Chain A
Amino acid sequence: DAKTTQPTSMDCAEGRAANLPCNHSTISGNEYVYWYRQIHSQGPQYIIHGLKNNETNEMASLIITEDRKSSTLILPHATLRDTAVYYCIVRDPNDYKLSFGAGTTVTVRA
């Protein structure tokens, strides 16, 4: 059972911000939102995670709505190397597994 809904694909322009949406309307109070990405022929790569507050690191920012039913991953200045499948994952803190959906295929165009 998918806990998240993401668009199948999206394009963005190189140098511009990429905003990747994710819906998780059934998220529980203690579940985290994780983002991973998978560049072609590589394994998934951790990007960022959050519970309630917005988070930022050197790769991206994560904005979680107040009701926690949706979130947005922001890549501030997309480059061609950011072309990948991006996975939004809702994760119980007691669950060691990662449950991937189909993700969003993001294509950054020059």
Chain B
Amino acid sequence: GAGVSQSPRYKVAKRGQDVALRCDPISGHVSLFWYQQALGQGPEFLTYFQNEAQLDKSGLPSDRFFAERPEGSVSTLKIQRTQQEDSAVYLCASSLGPTSGQETQYFGPGTRLLVL
């Protein structure tokens, strides 16, 4: 079946521009996660949704970052007034069940954001 998809795969933005990154999770998956991966490092947690509810946004680095999942399926990560330090790969993951440390997370290919 279809996995997690993300779009665009690559995005170049000028400093100060707003960007929107889309994630289509696996159909029927309740949980959705966003991670940020800087070059040469492991992914770091940004935020978590259970259906349409954003239960944890503790990893969002600043108030310029905003995520939503209004209908409990597709999610969008928005970054306002992008800065060079926002350059990274943004990964989306989904899992079948609600919060559980035993649920397998399935990752999308990521969106590589470059801010000039």
Contacts and interface: CB of A to CB of B under 8 A. Distances in A.
B93 interface: yes
Nearest to B31: A96
Given A43-B4, A95-B101, A100 B42 contact: yes
B99 A96 contact: yes
Interface residues of B, number: 28
B41 interface: yes
Nearest to A105: B40
Q: Which DSSP category, helix, strand, loop or mixed, fits chain A's interface? A: loop
B106 interface: yes
Nearest to B55: A96
Q: Which DSSP category, helix, strand, loop or mixed, fits chain B's interface? A: loop
A97 interface: yes
Contacts of A91: 101
B25 interface: no
Nearest to A92: B101
Interface size range on A against B: 20 to 34
Interface in A28-49: 32, 41-46, 49
Contact of A44 (B48, B95, B107): B107
A91 B91 CA distance: 19
A78 to B, nearest CB: 22
25 contacts: A32-B102, A43-B4, A43-B107, A43-B108, A43-B109, A43-B110, A46-B104, A46-B106, A49-B102, A85-B42, A87-B42, A91-B101, A92-B101, A93-B101, A94-B99, A94-B101, A96-B33, A96-B95, A96-B100, A96-B103, A97-B33, A97-B56, A98-B33, A98-B93, A100-B44
Given A96-B103, A98-B43, 8 more contacts: A43-B109, A43-B110, A49-B102, A85-B42, A93-B101, A96-B33, A96-B100, A102-B40
Interface of B: 4, 31, 33, 35, 40-45, 48, 56, 59, 91, 93, 95, 99-110
